[in-house]
Amino acid sequence: MGRRWSDGRGKLIVQGAAGTVAVPLELATSYRARTKGLLGRDAVDGAMLLSPASSVHTFRMRFPIDVAYLDRDLKVVGVHTMKRGRLGLPRVRARHVLEAGAGVMAGWGVRVGVRVTVEGVE
């Protein structure tokens, strides 16, 4: 189930116990976009999906983030909050990494076992 996205914007759809949540999403699929990620920003509007990726770091970041590791089927295999200046260990089954401001993923219903959807990629 290979995915061929390009850098752009779309929506992250999370179907959790509280219902369906649609979140603005930025896709970073090129090497350059993945390398830059959220660096140099003071916040993120919604979330950013890094693909392909199996780990992230928060060196030189201005704010802490929630990180969700996704497998090839976009099923969440791990969720962590990372403080600034940390290095996340690679996840063996992770193929994509979802980043958002610290504390927001729990409100969206993102937790281990939940499958997310990416829609409307421009």
Give the residue from 48, 51, 56 showing the smallest Cα distance to 24: 48
pTM for this model (two decimals): 0.92
Nearest to 118 by CA among 28, 19, 17, 18: 28
Q: In this predicted model, what pLDDT tens digit does every residue of 93-109 receive, in sequence order?
A: 999 999 999 999 999 99
56-93: pLDDT as tens digits:
999 999 999 999 999 999 999 999 999 999 999 999 99
What are the phi and psi torsion angles at 37 (to 5°)?
50, -125
* Residue 52 three-state SS: coil
